[in-house]
Structure 1
C-alpha cells in the first residue's frame, strides 16, 4: 500500500529529498524457531521506476518490539536481489527498535546507537546498492532472522520504504590483490545450523593482476554452509563452515587457493582482531616449527552480492592425510591394533551432542573436572569399545602424570605424551598469552600403536583473543604465564603445571625455546611477517573498515582501541616484542649439551610431513648445519638409505622404503650430529 506517513514526510524534508514517494508494509510476529521471517511490500507505480542517484531508495524505517535485540539479523532485499544488511548482532540484552530509520545521509552509524534505537542511522550495507540502474518496481523484502532460537520473541509493528532525489549509489569494487570468494544462497540468511545449500565461486588471478568478482572463476561448486563459532556469533561479521559439493550434494574434495584437497573448510572473519593477523601468526609459527597447523589464505568475501570484507580461508581441523595425518578409525575397528587409533580429541565445552567424557582429575576449579570432546570421529560415530579404549587410555595418561613416579620415562607421563609436541604447543600458547589456551579448543590426537602410541598436542586453534587482544584474565599484559592466569578464569587442566615440575621437561623446553629464538621465533622474523602481511592488506583493510566501521570503537574484549589500521599493527608489534623479552627472561630450565650427539628432535631437526609417505622435507633450525650427510636406519639399526651433501630444506625421496619406523641422522664434517624419528605410513 502506498501512502506518506508523518515520519516519512519529516525524514524526507530533513534530508532534502524532493519528489518523495513512500510505501508501507504490514508487520507480524518474528518467529523464534530459527526460521526466516519475510515481510513484503509490493510496488508497481514507482515513478521513475529506474533506481539511480537521480531518484532512488533513500531510507527504510521500521519499528520492532523484541527483547535482546542482538539476536536479530535484519536485511532489506530489493526486487532485483540486492541484499543489504541493515543491522545485526547489536544491542546486547536490551530491547526494541523504536521508529528506527536507516539512511546514508547521516553521519551516525548504527554501531553508535543505543537501544531502544530511535532516529536515523547509517546501516552496515550502503542503500546505494539498490540504486543500480534497475527497476524498483516489484517485491521488496524486509528479512528478519532471530539467530538465537527459542529464547526471545518479538514483533515487527510496521515498516516503510522512502524514495526520492539525491539518492546514494554504491561505489564500484576497485579490485583487490587478494583472492575473491563469492557465496550465494538465493538470498537466504545463513543460519547457525543446519547447513543450507549454496554456491561458491573463487576468483584468483595468479598473473599478479587485480581480482574482481566479475572475472572468470578459477573454481566453482555447490556447497553446504552454516555459521560457526561460539562467542563470535554475537558479532555482525560471521564465521562460516562450509562443505564443497557436487550437483547431487555429495562431498567434493578440492584444492582451494593452493591448500591441499578436502571438502571441509572454514571462512574465519576477523572482527574483534582488528589486525586480522593473530590466528595466522600462531598457525604460521606452528607450521614453521614443524608441527601441523591449519593452512590459511587471505581473501575478500561477497555474500549474495554484499561485500563482507577481509576473511581467512582456513583448513578445518580433522583427520586427513593432509591435515591431522593419523590412521582412519572405522566403526568396525574394535580389535587389536586397529582399535588403538586414530583419535582426535579436544578440551572444550559441551558440544551439545553428548560427545564427550570427563577427566578423573579436577582442573583449576576445585571439584570440577575438565571435559574431553570426541572430535574426529565424533562421539556418535564411535563404537562403545572405541570410546572405552580412548577414554581409558586418557585416564591412564592422567594417572601417570599425577602419580608419584610421573618423572619416570617408562612409567610416568612420558610413556603417554610426545614431549616435543607438548613443548611446542606450550611455547605458542604462552607467546600469545592466549586466554583460551589449555581450556578451550585444545586439540590432541593419538595414532595406532603400530605407528605411534603417544598423545600429540595440537593442532593450534583459535588465537583471535591472543597477543594482547583481551581485557580480562591478565592476558592483556606481556608479563605472566597463561597456564597460571587462565586457570583463575575458567576450569583448566593442570597438565602443563605438572609437566613443569619435571626438570627434564623444563630443560627440553629451555633448549627448544632458545633454538627457536634464533630462527622462526626471532623478533625480526615475527615482525617481518606482521609488516609484510599488513602491507599486503592495506587497501583491503580500508574496504573492510568502510564496511565494518569498528576502528576507534570498543569491540569485546579489546584491550587496545586504535583509531587506524596502522595503529592496530603497531600495537601488535609492540606487544610481541614485550612478550618475547619477558619470555626470554622467564622461561624455566637449563640448556647444556650432554654429548656430541644431541637428542634434539625437540630442538633443531624437523622432518615434514612426519609421518610421511613418498617423501619428506628435512630442515635444520640451526646455523651449524646448512649442508650435511644423511643416514636413515630402520628400528633394527640397519642402514637403509644414505645421501651426502644434502642441502637444508631439501626433499628426500623414500618411495622405496616400506612403511615403518626409522631413525634419521644428519651430521656435518666437524662431528655435529642430530637425530629424529621418522614414521613412513602406508
Structure 2
C-alpha cells in the first residue's frame, strides 16, 4: 500500500509539472451560469400577466421604507445625477424578508415555493452608483431575531450572510461585471462568483441584477484561508483599498502612507486601506499586527533592496497574483484599480494575494473622458510602480500575457462568451429595458442621462453597448500585442540607477 501511494504521488507530480511546463491554464472549476444552467421549457399553464423567468428570481419586502442613499447634502445638486459626488453616504439598514426562487428545471414565478426564504437587513450600497435611478443593494441575512448573522447559500454559491446585488445602469451592456469576474475567476485563485437574477422590491419589478459574493472569508469557500482567532495576535486578513473606512477601528496607516509612497495621503478619496477581515472580532493587537505585517511588504518593495532574493518584495507577496491582477485590469481598462475597489488577502501562513472587484466602468466606460486603449496606467500606481523596477517581474508579466492570449485574452473566446451570455439572458434584457430603457435617452424628465463625456460616447441601444465592448477588446488586445514590451523601459538601468547602484554598493 505504501508503494501504491508513492506511485500515485509521483504521477500527480508529473501531471502538475507537465501542465505548468505546457503553459496550459489549470482547470479551476469555475461555474459559468450562461453555459451550465439547464435549459428550461416554456411555461404553458399561465397567461402573460404572470411574471415568468428562466433566471433565478429574488423578491425583497422591507419592513419599512428603504433608507435613502445619502444622509445629507453638503453642496449644490447638479441636474446630471452622476455629477452629484458631494453627498454623505447613508449606511442605515432596514429589516426585510427575502424570498429566492431558483428551480433547476422549470421557470421561476413569485407564486412558486422559494428555494430560500429568510430574514435579512437591507440597504443601498455603492459609491457613485448611489446617484443612479437603479440602485445597488446589500443583503445581510440574519436569524429570526434580526441580530445574529446567518450564512445562506444562493444558486450554489458559498453560504455567507453578506451578498451584493449589482444593478447595471451605467453599464448598458449589463454584462461587464459578469464577464470580468468570471474571466478573473479562470485566471486567479479567487474572484467573486456571480449569478444573474431578476428582482422585485416591495412589489415593484426592478430589472436584471447580478447577485454577487461579497469578498470575505468562509470555511466553505470564497477566500479560503485559516480562520482568525481573537485570542491570538497573528491572524489571516483581508484588506480593501478604496475611499477610506467608515468605522475608524478598521482604518490603517501603513509604512507606505506614512512615508508618502502611496496615495493615502497624497491623493484624497483614493488609496485608503482598511481591514475588512477580521471584522467584529478584530482586536487592537491584531490591528497592530496587520499594519506591521503589511508594512513589511511595503518597506521591502520601496527599499533599495526591492529585488533582493531574501530581503525583497518576493518574500511577502504571491507574485503571480499581482501579475494577474495587473493584466486583467489593464486589459479591461479598469482604471479604478488599484486605488479603488481593490482587495488584498493573506493567509496567516501564506503571502499577500490580490482580488478584483467592480468592472462597471471597464472597457472604456468612464464618465468624464475617454480612456484611450493605447496606454498603460496601473504600472504607475501604488506598489506596482516599484514592482516594475524589477526586470524579472516585467519578464513574468510579458510571459503571462502570452499564455493568457492563447485562450482567455483571445477575441474568439471572448466574443463567443459575450454572445452566449446575451443569448442566455434572452427576454430578461427586454424586460430590464422596459423598466430602465429611458436611460438610453440624452435627457428624460429634465434629467441628463448622458453620463459619458463627450456626448458621442453614449450608446443608444443594448446592441450598440455590446458592440462597444467588442470593439474595445479588439483595439486593446492589438495595442497590448504590439506594445507590452514598452514596460521594459520601467526596469531599465537608466530609470533605476540609484536603486541599482545602492544594491551593488550594499553588496560590496
Question: How high is the TM-score relative to the length of structure 2?
Answer: 0.75
- 2:358 is aligned, of 450, 456, 462, to 462
User: Where do 1:207-356 residues align within 5 Å?
Assistant: 207=105, 209-249=106-146, 250-321=148-219, 322-334=221-233, 339=234, 341-354=235-248, 355-356=250-251
CA contact (8 A) 1:508 1:589 kept: no
Q: State the alpha-carbon separation in 2 of the partners of residues 329 and 295 from structure 1.
A: 23
Relative distance call for 1:367 and 1:175 in structure 2 (3 A) is closer
RMSD: 2.3
Q: State the alpha-carbon separation in 2 of the partners of residues 213 and 546 from structure 1.
A: 19
Relative distance call for 1:201 and 1:428 in structure 2 (3 A) is same
**3-state SS of paired residue (1:259):** coil
CA contact (8 A) 1:179 1:205 kept: yes
Q: State the alpha-carbon separation in 1 of the partners of residues 487 and 274 from structure 2.
A: 36
The structure carrying a bigger helix percent of its residues is: 2
User: Where do 1:118-133 residues align within 5 Å?
Assistant: none
Structure 1 residue 181: deviation in Å? 0.6
Q: State the alpha-carbon separation in 1 of the partners of residues 264 and 214 from structure 2.
A: 33
Structure 1 residue 555: deviation in Å? 4.4
Relative distance call for 1:540 and 1:448 in structure 2 (3 A) is same
Relative distance call for 1:375 and 1:231 in structure 2 (3 A) is same
User: Where do 1:212-611 residues align within 5 Å?
Assistant: 212-249=109-146, 250-321=148-219, 322-334=221-233, 339=234, 341-354=235-248, 355-358=250-253, 359-363=257-261, 368=266, 370-378=271-279, 381-449=281-349, 452=350, 454-458=351-355, 460-472=356-368, 475=371, 477-483=372-378, 492-493=381-382, 495-548=383-436, 549-553=438-442, 554-557=449-452, 560-588=457-485
Is residue 2:82 matched to residue 1:185? no
Question: How high is the TM-score relative to the length of structure 1?
Answer: 0.56
Corresponding position of 1:149: none
Corresponding position of 1:615: none
User: Where do 1:41-60 residues align within 5 Å?
Assistant: none
**3-state SS of paired residue (1:260):** coil
CA contact (8 A) 1:422 1:457 kept: yes
CA contact (8 A) 1:286 1:428 kept: yes
Q: State the alpha-carbon separation in 2 of the partners of residues 332 and 367 from structure 1.
A: 33
User: Where do 1:142-181 residues align within 5 Å?
Assistant: 172-181=49-58
**3-state SS of paired residue (1:588):** helix
Relative distance call for 1:509 and 1:229 in structure 2 (3 A) is same
**3-state SS of paired residue (2:150):** coil
Q: State the alpha-carbon separation in 1 of the partners of residues 149 and 264 from structure 2.
A: 45
CA contact (8 A) 1:299 1:310 kept: yes
Structure 1 residue 584: deviation in Å? 1.5
The structure carrying a bigger strand percent of its residues is: 1
CA contact (8 A) 1:268 1:313 kept: yes
Structure 1 residue 538: deviation in Å? 3.6
Aligned residues: 402
CA contact (8 A) 2:195 2:212 kept: yes
CA contact (8 A) 1:272 1:558 kept: no
CA contact (8 A) 1:435 1:473 kept: no
Query: Structure 1: any 5+ residue segments left out of the alignment?
Result: 1-170, 592-682
Per-residue CA distance 1:602-646 (angstroms, 9 max, x = gap): xxxxxxxxxxxxxxxxxxxxxxxxxxxxxxxxxxxxxxxxxxxxx
CA contact (8 A) 1:187 1:304 kept: no
Structure 1 residue 558: deviation in Å? 6.6
Corresponding position of 1:107: none
Q: State the alpha-carbon separation in 1 of the partners of residues 133 and 326 from structure 2.
A: 32
Corresponding position of 1:49: none
CA contact (8 A) 2:97 2:120 kept: yes
Structure 1 residue 539: deviation in Å? 1.6
Relative distance call for 1:372 and 1:581 in structure 2 (3 A) is same
Q: State the alpha-carbon separation in 1 of the partners of residues 66 and 142 from structure 2.
A: 20
CA contact (8 A) 2:51 2:110 kept: no
CA contact (8 A) 2:263 2:339 kept: no
Relative distance call for 1:578 and 1:550 in structure 2 (3 A) is same
Relative distance call for 1:190 and 1:425 in structure 2 (3 A) is same
Q: State the alpha-carbon separation in 2 of the partners of residues 177 and 333 from structure 1.
A: 48
Per-residue CA distance 1:432-457 (angstroms, 9 max, x = gap): 111211101211111113xx1x2111
Relative distance call for 1:390 and 1:365 in structure 2 (3 A) is closer
**3-state SS of paired residue (2:375):** coil
Relative distance call for 1:383 and 1:246 in structure 2 (3 A) is closer
CA contact (8 A) 1:545 1:551 kept: no
Q: State the alpha-carbon separation in 2 of the partners of residues 545 and 210 from structure 1.
A: 20
Relative distance call for 1:557 and 1:318 in structure 2 (3 A) is farther
Per-residue CA distance 1:2-27 (angstroms, 9 max, x = gap): xxxxxxxxxxxxxxxxxxxxxxxxxx
